[in-house]
Amino acid sequence: IGHFTFDPGFMATGSCESSITFIDGEKGVLLHRGYSIEELARDADYLEVCYMLLHGEAPDAATYAEFKSTITRHTMVHETMTNFFHGFRPDAHPMAMLCGTVGAMSSFYHDDLDVSDPEKRLRSAYRLVAKMPTLVAMAYKHNIGQPFVYPRNDLSYAENFLNMMFSVPAEEYKISPAVARAVDRIFTLHADHEQNASTSTVRLAGSSGANPYACIAAGVASLWGPAHGGANEACLNMLQKIGTVDRIPEFIAKAKDKNDPFRLMGFGHRVYKNYDPRATVMRESCHEVLAELEVKDPLLQVAMELEKIALEDEYFASKKLFPNVDFYSGIILKAIGIPTNMFTCIFALARTVGWISHWHEMLGQDGQKIGRPRQLYTGEAQRPFTPIKK
Ligand code: CMC
Report the nearest-CA residue for atom 28 of ligand 1: 270
Is 245 contained in some domain? no
The CA distance from 176 to 192, in Å, is: 26
**pLDDT band of 172, cuts 50, 70, 90:** confident
Strands 29-32 and 35-36: antiparallel
How many angstroms does the Cα of residue 216 sit away from the middle of ligand 1?
Answer: 25
Q: Which residues are catalytic?
A: 269, 326
* pLDDT tens figures, 270-303: 999 999 999 999 999 999 999 999 999 999 999 9
Domain region containing 130: 58-221+342-363
Whole-complex ipTM: 0.97
175: nearest Cα among 186, 187, 164: 164
Give, for ligand 1, the residue of 269, 313, 327 to mutate: max count of ligand atoms closer than 8 Å to Cβ. Answer: 269
| The ligand 1 atom nearest the CA atom of 223 | 52
Is 81 contained in some domain? yes
Is 235 contained in some domain? no
Is 110 contained in some domain? yes
pLDDT of residue 2: 67
Is 376 contained in some domain? no
Residues at CB less than 6 angstroms from ligand 1: 9, 196, 227-229, 231, 255, 263-270, 319, 321, 324-326
The CA distance from 129 to 389, in Å, is: 58
Q: How many Cα atoms sit within 13 Å of 268 on the Cβ side?
A: 15
Q: Number of structural domains, the chain?
A: 1
Report the nearest-CA residue for atom 50 of ligand 1: 228
DSSP state of 148: P
What are the percentages of helix, strand and coil residues in the chain, rounded to 5? 55, 5, 40
| The ligand 1 atom nearest the CA atom of 270 | 29
Give, for ligand 1, the residue of 262, 321, 325 to mutate: max count of ligand atoms closer than 8 Å to Cβ. Answer: 321
**pLDDT band of 131, cuts 50, 70, 90:** very high
* pLDDT tens figures, 294-340: 999 999 999 999 999 999 999 999 999 999 999 999 999 999 999 99
Is 142 contained in some domain? yes
| 158: CATH | 1.10.580.10
The CA distance from 364 to 112, in Å, is: 16
Whole-model pTM: value is 0.95
Is 358 contained in some domain? yes
Annotate 278-292 with DSSP letters as a single string. HHHHHHHHHHHHHHH
* pLDDT tens figures, 84-121: 999 999 999 999 999 999 999 999 998 888 999 999 99
- CA-based torsion, 91, 92, 98, 102: positive or negative: negative
179-207 mean pLDDT = 97
